[in-house]
Amino acid sequence: MTAPAADDLTTGDEVEVEVGAIAHGGHCVARYDGRVLFVRHGLPGERVRARITEGGPGDRFLRADAVSVLEASPHRIAPRCAAAGPGGCGGCDFQHVATAHQRELKAAVVAEQLQRVAGIEREVVVEPLDDADGLRYRTRVEFAVVEGRIGLRRHRSHDVVEVDGCPIAVPDVDEALRETRAESVGELEGIRAVDVVVPSGESDTVVVEVPQEAPTPPIEVTEIVRTPAGERSMTVDARGFWQVHRDAPHAFVAAMLEAADVRPGERVLDLYSGVGLLSVPLADAVGATGQLIAVESDRRATEHLRDNLAAHPWALVVPGRVDDLLGVPRQGRRRGPRRPARSDLLPPSAHVVVLDPPRTGAGRGVVAALTSLRPRRLVYVACDPAALARDTAYLGELGYELTALRAFDAFPMTHHVECVATFEPKGEAVTS
């Protein structure tokens, strides 16, 4: 069989390639006669037969799956899930990779992004959470429903792979899925998803059937978080944002508090607060002589944030978008000469700023506004290495340097990694 010419490669073609370095996004980079392939299900150093899944002649790069392994990496293992692999469930990128090596790959991605985007050379270690084998950690799973079939989405597709369970989910999720499937035969018309939530503060598993058209009625659950002040109960919607790894909330709170080093009586700003996972321990830390200002845009999350901070009268909840409240114009929006007004509810200075932005990161405008507050420490919780590296570069331009970085494997079997980065003013510390 004649190998296709590189310029003619298109979806469905298969070629033999040597797999190169890991890249951001859960794939490795390979080249076929100069054409770039982003290959999933392979490992650096392997020789594989790759099938093109997206792209064609004239495209800058192609996407591909490693459908057969000709020369295997010593870090390759048999997937722990029958639905994993080419053409299967798109949720896990690294089912074929030994757990310890998954963390090494993620560390390499974080280090590469910091070096390439921010010009920072730093050795990165990704720390495991309390899951020895990377399985049975996830407490929240959304199963898609298509034509009455319940399953998980294929990679970059709306197609559904029917599954009996999910090996990265806690066992209660699998049990709830089996019961839902048995009880709902022929009764899932008009349902687009089934969310299964195993809250830490309740004994019952919550199953939410999500309608295709109508809004989903809110269902409140209780989550428990360990803080230096003891266990805290927090209210969150079943479909609201909460860390999915059973141990992530405790680990992130501890890492954030260590990084922030908040002192009693200080003024602290917590941005993109959600329901208050970080706000509550920060309010504990500043105490009644200090002030905690928490900013969140989602209406329901803001309601829960107020409830979760109710025992801290020195905590102020400010609803709204961070960029709007800081007076930063939104990208892609033209407003003429008038700039959005900075909210009077935000202080002119802060001792410590903590932010946990969405995957897109904070951006130049928000970073500039935060450095104008002259905090002595800025703690950035990031779920995307590329966005973190970009904003690290912005912070460097504005006089703040990266002084500490911790990375956590909060999403084993996937390419995702969570980072807690600490920034301080270059040179002498700034007091405010």
- Annotated catalytic residues are 383
Which helix or strand (DSSP H or E) is residue 58 part of? none
Other residues' Cβ atoms within 10 Å of the Cβ of residue 84? 21
Helix (H, G, I), strand (E, B) or coil at 316: strand
In sequence order, what DSSP letters do the residues of 250-286 get, joined into one string? HHHHHHHHHHH---TT-EEEEES-TTTTTHHHHHHHH
Euclidean distance between the first and the last CA atom of the chain, given in angstroms as a whole number: 71
Residue 420 is which amino acid?
Answer: V
Within 13 Å of residue 257, how many CA atoms lie on the same side as its CB?
A: 22
The Cα–Cα gap between 358 and 86 comes to 29
Residue 367 gets which letter from DSSP? H
- Give every CB contact of residue 168 below 8 A, 6+ residues apart in sequence: 81, 91, 92, 134, 135, 136, 137, 138, 412, 413
Q: Tell me which long-range contacts 156-161 makes (C-beta under 8 A, separation of at least 24).
A: 156/53, 156/54, 156/63, 156/90, 157/90, 161/83, 161/88, 161/89
Residue 388 is which amino acid?
Answer: L
Residue 328 is which amino acid?
Answer: V
Helix (H, G, I), strand (E, B) or coil at 40: strand
Q: State the pairing for strand pair 191-197/418-425.
A: unpaired
